[in-house]
Amino acid sequence: MKTFIEKHKILVLFMLAYWGVCLVMLFKSLDFLYAALSWNVLLAILPVFFINQAVTTIGQKKISWTVFWILLWLFFFPNSVYVVTDFIHIANEKFRWVSNAGPYAPGGGIVYSQDIFIWTKLLVIAMGFFYSIVVGLESVYIFEQMVRKKYSKKIGYASIVSVGLLTGIGVYIGRFLRFNSWDVVFNPLQVLQQVAQVDRFAVQFIVAFSGFVLFCYLLYRSFKEK
């Protein structure tokens, strides 16, 4: 853990700064959402730790430990992109409305809210999403490089597609079925029973979200490799 903090101290500092922002907003608004956002950001950085452990153990040729860390990474990675669904929490906020006035009357048309807490809530969620997806995609990049080095580029591409699909399934399980990452280990039968009851919407959501993850990763990698 100490080595990880030293290597990624900037990521840790940004996380702590985000916690500070959420703490201020929590006291100002008494909205538990900000505690949940802080928790989500912590979950989002764990995949970077897990995949770095996998890189270390594969270098030491500890295959069983490498598999263990990769599985942990795979279970927790969906938390990094899950944060995009937190934008649903602004659905009930009134950012704008239409003023009922004549076409030439002053103040008519669309009026935007001047409640700073509404706009700050949007920005805090966006900050958490941006942080989470960047650190999450960094962990995917490390994973792909590890697979490419061990096997080949084609297997690397195939593994990324598989990760994208599994992530879509994971986010669906988390958002709609309300399971956590650790439930896969502690309540596997219950998770499987719920997943077995997927409907048309579930398939559509999983495909759409998997495409979103792959799009974000390819965009991230295009900048990373430059």
Which of these, 161, 184, 143, lies nearest to 53 by C-alpha position? 143
Cβ atoms of 41 and 15 closer than 8 Å = yes
- Supply the pLDDT for residue 192: 76
Cβ atoms of 50 and 66 closer than 8 Å = no
What phi and psi, each to the nearest 5 degrees, are found at residue 17? -65, -40
Q: pLDDT category, 182, cuts 50, 70, 90?
A: low
Which structure tokens are listed for 4?
A: 């990880």
Q: Lowest mean pLDDT: which of 43-47, 77-81, 131-135, 222-226?
A: 222-226
Would you tell me the crossing angle of helices 33-59 and 9-29 to the nearest 10 degrees? 170
Which of these, 205, 216, 212, lies nearest to 177 by C-alpha position? 205
Cβ atoms of 68 and 50 closer than 8 Å = no
pLDDT exceeding 70 applies to what percent of the chain? 92
- Supply the pLDDT for residue 95: 82
End-to-end CA distance of the chain: 30
Query: Exposed, middle or buried: residue 1 (CB in 10 Å: 0-12, 13-18, 19+)?
Result: exposed
Q: How many CA atoms lie within 13 A of 225 on its CB side?
A: 10
Cβ atoms of 137 and 94 closer than 8 Å = no
Our count of domains for the chain comes to 1
Evaluate if residue 47 carries a pLDDT over 70.
yes
138 is in which domain, residue-wise? 2-224
What is the gyration radius of the CA atoms in the chain, in angstroms?
A: 20
pTM (two decimals): 0.87
- Supply the pLDDT for residue 189: 77
The single-letter code of the amino acid at 73 is: W
Q: pLDDT category, 104, cuts 50, 70, 90?
A: low
Q: If DSSP codes are grouped into helix, strand and coil, which group holds residue 105?
A: coil
Q: How many CA atoms lie within 13 A of 19 on its CB side?
A: 11
